[in-house]
Amino acid sequence: MVKPVKVGLLGLGTVGTGVVRIVEGHQSDLESQVGSPIIIEKILVQNKSKERAISIDPEKLTEDPWEIIHHPEIDVIVEVMGGIEDTKGYILEALSRGKHVVTANKDLMAMHGPEILAKAQEHQCDVLYEASVAGGIPIIRTLIEGFSSDRITKIMGIVNGTTNYILSKMSQEGAAYADVLKEAQELGYAESDPTSDVEGLDAARKMTILATLGFRANVALEDVDVKGISSVSREDILYAKRLGYEVKLLGIAERQDDFISVSVQPTMVKQSHPIASVNGVFNAVYVYGEAVGETMFYGAGAGELPTATSVVADLVAVVKNLKLGVNGKQNLLSYKIKKLKTDEQIASKYFMLLHVDDRAGVLARITQAFAEFEVSLESVLQQPNVSNPEAEIIIITHDANKAAVQKVLQAFEGMEVVKSVKSVYRVEG
């Protein structure tokens, strides 16, 4: 009889439950691919007595992580419990004992990826983390393998399902932010602390991973300029739609020559751009390669079964490597030393909504500030504000560097005629 591959599962929440369902439900398909049964031997949970959505042999459950990490028969650890410091300790210990690791944990990989991959290399182990970015979309394998021949110059991602769900519902149904966030939490999309979703940190962690792989450079979380969606108003979304844009929380990683920039921010995306039509909990990653041109990858970015699909695909890859005796050969450690773009080197269009005094000469003073810092304007629209005596001015710039735009905004702070800068968005497409 063929020896089964034994798996220790850390976590039986949303993703862990999906992993059990897929490993059990697709067992014969998996076995026919890898040539041996895959058995989930032990499962780490916080509370063994908790009611579970699936039926599990209680003997398999443990609250002691070391029972799994030190288990002599377990070959692969599948980490879907989340957390950073303790979890990192379990993974490093598992690797030092020669166990391979599959993880869905972007927080861990974005912050400690290099250390974990180095440990894996030292012990000839696999560490695969496909589910850590964009749930069910196989984007990590695509960047490592599919684009190995090309030079990627831009990656744009809707990589957080919770915020995309919120923005889509606000745009399509005029729903209120707080109500939709609650729904996303109930559906299992949001992180246990949803602040990391709405303030852009979850997306920033995912963009750190994508930029590292796409540009083959040592991008760190601190290199990502992050802004979340909590300041996006229904008014902004309405203006965007009226001008032919959708507001999306976009991760944008760009490379020009050897210089890179990575950011996450609410962005106005032209409705004709394919990424503008990605709605709900769906994610998409747009990749531009110098040779291939435009590509886009689309799918469910969160949720039980889509995420578990990526986790189990990694598990299959580990077991195939075990059969071939090639584990630990694919860890990407040859990163280039990054060179970050300065604000003078980061260029894009911008949208601005200003409330200003409604009197002669105001528009001229405002456009003068743009001229002074060499920011060229694509369109300017002025309309009376129905609720007060101020006028609203909507401006879309041509491509302008970020430093110059900051200087224009600083100049507005000192102008008595500018009552408020209601919103500023980067514009794409």
Q: Is 46 in the site for ligand NAP (CB under 6 A)?
A: yes
DSSP designation for 13: S
Among 10, 213, 252, 302, binds ligand HSE (CB under 6 A): 302
> Where do the DSSP E strands lie in 67-211?
76-79, 100-103, 127-128, 152-158
Cβ-based nearer residue to ligand HSE, 198 or 427: 198
Helix axes 402-413, 362-372, angle to 10 degrees: 140
Q: Is 202 in the site for ligand HSE (CB under 6 A)?
A: yes
Distance CA 154, CA 341 (A): 14
Q: Are 170 and 74 in contact (CB under 8 A)?
A: no
3-state secondary structure of 301: coil
Q: Are 363 and 382 in contact (CB under 8 A)?
A: yes
Distance CA(398)–CA(227), nearest Å, equals: 22
| Minimum separation from the CB atom of position 73 to ligand NAP (A) | 20
| H or E segment and range at residue 25 | helix 14-25
Restricted to residues 237-296, the positions that interact with ligand HSE (CB under 6 A) are none
Tell me if 8 is assigned to a ligand binding site: no
| Minimal distance, residue 105 CB to ligand HSE, in Å | 10
**Which x/- pattern over 82-111 shows residues binding ligand HSE (rule: CB under 6 A)?**
------------------------------
Tell whether 14 is in a known binding site. yes
**x/- string (CB under 6 A) for ligand NAP, residues 124-163?**
-------x---x----------------------------
Give the range of 24-32, 78-86, 263-271, 328-336 binding ligand NAP by CB under 6 A: 78-86
Cα gap 106→85, rounded to integer Å: 13
Among 33, 50, 242, 274, binds ligand NAP (CB under 6 A): 50
Per-position x/- string for 2-31, each x denoting binding to ligand NAP as judged by CB under 6 A, each - no binding:
---------xxxxxx---------------
Residue 135 near ligand HSE by CB under 6 A: yes
Which residue lies nearer to ligand NAP by CB, 43 or 408?
A: 43
- The angle formed by the CA atoms of residues 86, 23 and 75, to the nearest 5 degrees, is 50
Binding map of ligand NAP across residues 102-131, x = CB under 6 A, - = no contact: --xx-------------------------x
DSSP state of 52: -
What 3-state DSSP class applies to 121? Answer: helix
User: What is d(CA 76, CA 78) in angstroms, rounded to the nearest whole number?
Assistant: 6
Per CB under 6 A, contacts with ligand HSE among 160-179 are 160-162
Return d(Cα 37, Cα 42) in angstroms, integer. 15
- Annotation marks residue 206 as catalytic: yes
Q: Give the integer Cα–Cα distance in Å for 97 and 99.
A: 6
Residue 12 annotated as lining a ligand binding site = yes
Which residues, 354 to 393, sit near ligand NAP by CB under 6 A? none
Q: Decide: helix, strand or coil at residue 192.
A: coil
Which residues, at least 6 apart from 246, have a Cβ–Cβ distance to it below 8 Å?
Answer: 167, 171, 240, 268, 269, 271, 276, 277
Angle formed at CA 37 by CA 31 and CA 42, multiple of 5 degrees: 135
Picked from ligand HSE, ligand NAP, none, the partner binding residue 162 (CB below 5 to 8 A depending on kind) is ligand HSE
Nearer to ligand NAP, 41 or 358 (CB): 41
Decide whether 138 or 161 has the Cβ nearer to ligand HSE.
161
Residues that bind ligand HSE (CB under 6 A): 135, 160-162, 189-191, 197, 202, 301-302
Residues with active-site annotation: 206
